[in-house]
């Protein structure tokens, strides 16, 4: 296996990690006014992701950075063509991060509600933007032989790419509700479980639709098999959730996103960005990869650095693994 293919698989893994970890982050933020009926319950929801949300966002930085270093042609074409959804992602993540830090700085109902709105908007925008970015990457962009976008900034918007945006939003909503049910206790846990069961069958349909569109266009027998496993995992997740087994439901939601990313990138291979203008203009792993020396150096660095980061992040989740409820929330103390 050559290093270019290895780094294609590593970048797919980075996207997988980001969608799984940031998926429930987005979901918790989007559901903040739905599941949090008073200030204490909203603080419970924020605290479920408080120790980990910033670490989860690192996966996106690493995915984009690895693409820049390993496949500069892929990076240049994708980000220059998709700067509108990328801008939405950046604005949302910045506003959301500021809101997490500032919502408790002033003991004012109006102050906290305004920052809660920023959290909600800052969770919806990145989820939609990431969905567009991912679907544009997999379904293709209108690029010419030089890798430049043809047409306006809106020329890549199609119903299939909008389906991709809804796919990430729908997954995040269900994933976030399952996570809240897993991490909380009392009424909020019950409401989160009921909400996930109510919206799950509908909210996960766009993801299935995106997978079917991609597989119909470029799938193979093994990627179709993976799609089947995704459907089974989604059904079992809702079954276990209805039985109050949130841990197993959460693990199965991980299988859903793992299978989805594998099916999408499996259908994309050996391309990195298909051209909707002419298939001959599609960017491939081979045509966009960095030099063998660059990939070799990156592999050595990743071999030492990645395990340390994974161990640290896993340790963080282990330390903050217990459930929390309104009884754990102290009175507001303004510095």
Instruction: Report the alpha-carbon angle 158-224-12, nearest 5.
Output: 70
User: What is residue 107's predicted lDDT score, i.e. its pLDDT?
Assistant: 84
> Which residue in 77, 218, 68 sits closest to 141, CA to CA?
77
Q: Which residues 6+ apart lie within 8 Å of 187 measured at CB?
A: 41
- Domains recognised in the chain with CATH numbers: 3-294 (1.20.1630)
pTM (predicted TM-score): 0.93
**DSSP-assigned letters across all residues of 264-324:** HHHHHTTEEE-BSS-GGG-EEHHHH---HHHHHHHHHHHHHHHHHHHHHHHHHHHHT-S-B
Q: Which residues 6+ apart lie within 8 Å of 176 measured at CB?
A: 23, 24, 25, 26, 27, 28, 29, 30, 31
Per-residue pLDDT of the chain (335 residues; tens, 9 = 90+): 699 999 999 999 999 999 999 999 999 999 999 998 888 899 999 999 988 988 899 899 999 999 999 999 999 999 888 888 899 999 999 999 999 999 888 888 899 999 999 999 999 999 999 999 999 999 988 888 888 888 777 777 888 889 999 999 999 999 999 999 999 998 999 999 999 999 999 999 999 999 999 999 888 899 999 999 999 999 999 999 999 999 999 999 999 999 999 999 999 999 999 998 888 889 999 999 999 999 999 999 988 888 888 898 899 899 988 999 887 777 766 55
d(CA 120, CA 117): 5
Neighbours of 246 (CB within 10 A): 23
Element (H, E) at 199: helix 187-203
Structure tokens at 55: 């670490």
User: What is residue 249's predicted lDDT score, i.e. its pLDDT?
Assistant: 96
d(CA 294, CA 60): 21
User: What is residue 333's predicted lDDT score, i.e. its pLDDT?
Assistant: 60
């Amino acid at each position: 296996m050559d290093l270019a293919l290895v780094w294609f698989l590593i970048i797919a893994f980075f996207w997988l990690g980001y969608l799984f970890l940031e998926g429930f982050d987005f979901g918790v933020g989007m559901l903040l006014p739905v599941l949090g009926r008073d200030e204490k319950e909203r603080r419970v929801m924020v605290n479920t992701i408080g120790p980990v949300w910033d670490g989860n966002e690192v996966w996106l930085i690493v995915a984009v950075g690895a693409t820049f270093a390993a496949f500069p042609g892929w990076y240049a074409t994708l980000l220059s063509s998709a700067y509108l959804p990328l801008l939405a992602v950046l604005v949302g993540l910045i506003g959301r991060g500021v809101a997490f830090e500032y919502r408790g700085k002033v003991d004012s109902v109006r102050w906290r509600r305004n920052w809660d709105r920023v959290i909600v908007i800052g969770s919806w925008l990145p989820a939609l933007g990431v969905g567009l970015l991912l679907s544009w990457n997999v379904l293709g962009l209108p690029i010419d032989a030089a890798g430049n976008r043809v047409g306006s900034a809106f020329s890549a918007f199609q119903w299939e790419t909008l389906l991709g945006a809804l796919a990430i939003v729908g997954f995040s909503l269900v994933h976030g509700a399952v996570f809240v049910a897993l991490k909380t206790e009392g009424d909020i846990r019950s409401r989160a479980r009921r909400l996930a069961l109510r919206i799950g069958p509908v909210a996960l349909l766009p993801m299935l639709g995106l997978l079917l569109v991609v597989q119909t266009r470029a799938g193979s027998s093994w990627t179709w098999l993976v799609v089947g496993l995704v459907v089974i995992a989604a059904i079992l997740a809702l079954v276990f959730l209805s039985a109050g087994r949130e841990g197993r439901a959460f693990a199965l939601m991980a299988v859903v996103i793992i299978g989805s990313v594998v099916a999408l990138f499996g259908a994309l291979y050996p391309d990195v960005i298909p051209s909707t203008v002419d298939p001959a203009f599609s960017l491939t792993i081979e045509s966009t990869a960095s030099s063998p020396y660059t990939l070799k150096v990156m592999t050595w660095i990743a071999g030492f650095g990645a395990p340390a980061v994974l161990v640290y992040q896993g340790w963080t989740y282990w330390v903050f693994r217990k459930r929390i409820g309104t009884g754990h929330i102290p009175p507001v103390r303004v510095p």
